[in-house]
Chain A
Amino acid sequence: MAFQILLNVVLAFLWMFIKVSYDPISFIKGYIFGLVIIFVLRRSFGSRFYLFRLWSFIKLIFIFIKELILSNIAIVKVVLKPKLDMRPAIFAMDTELTRDWQITLLSSLITLTPGTLVIDVSEDNRTLFIHAMNIGEVEDEINSIKNSFEKAILEVSS
């Protein structure tokens, strides 16, 4: 991905040199033409076309904001309820993610989601221990985390 962006910038500079005009407008033009060229030649790179990846990253940010707002509403509901009848618990969740930054990102996302907070990551980085504020069914919780965040992170890194 970094290589493709660098190539795109180089192509934009090439466009500026060809046109002999050194202003931001021609840089942007060259960048767009370079984008088209990289899109046409996308099969010759090792990774995916980088705009797709950027798009999934933006999607991830929107998921993040949505979950943050939902989690706050959930917290407000629990705090302002007259009776404290939630059922806290610590449950284990196995993760498919392998790299360190992916696991860090996943645990930040989990911490900001409705009623879950990461307590510990196991030694082999395969299991996350999560404290849930109000646990319903453990399986459901795990599935909802997996379907939303883990998939989005895998999409970004693939």
Chain B
Amino acid sequence: MLSIWKRGLLSNVSVIIDFLIGFFILVGSLFCLIATIGVIRLPDVYTRNHAASKAATLGVMSILLGTFLYFYALEGHFNSRLILGIIFLFMTSPISGHLINRAAYNSGVKLWDKSVRDDLKEYNKKIMKKSSVD
């Protein structure tokens, strides 16, 4: 009796884990796809960077998480490198997005026409005595 109940519970758990693995990998690849569409569709460097630096981060992170779960649950292999990869991605990708944006701004890439305001330009003019490179 107990063993039947146990088997039922275990199979439930493994179904849940299968579902989770599939969910993470599908959602991750969906986010990557949407990031790519965003990079193609959006009008200027800065908005493209939004799509690339956020959606791709979460996408790759959830794909890695799905891979980790797959190997841990089905093969019994705890791969700590995947966890480290998630942490490193989490730490570095916002910084790289920031650096690309900053380099673009400082080399004079213009904002989209419909941009509303630009405080940094005023700041550069007033305080840094630096006219923006046009």
Contact = CB atoms under 8 A, between A and B. Distances in A.
B32 to A, nearest CB: 11
Given A84-B41, A129-B120, A117 B49 contact: yes
A87 B69 CA distance: 40
Contact of B98 (A71, A92, A111, A133): A111
How many B residues are at the interface, by size bracket?
Answer: 35 or more
A127 B41 contact: no
B interface secondary structure, majority: helix
A108 B94 contact: yes
B115 A89 contact: yes
A115 B120 CA distance: 18
Interface string B19-41: 00000000000010011011001
Interface of B: 31, 34-35, 37-38, 41-44, 46-47, 49-51, 53-55, 57-58, 91, 94-95, 97-98, 101-102, 105, 111-112, 114-121, 123, 127-128
A interface secondary structure, majority: mixed
Nearest to B98: A118
How many A residues are at the interface, by size bracket?
Answer: 20 to 34
Nearest to A124: B127
Contact of A115 (B50, B57, B118): B50
Interface of A: 68-69, 71-72, 75-76, 78-80, 84, 86-92, 107-108, 111-112, 115, 117-120, 122-123, 127, 129, 131, 133, 135, 138
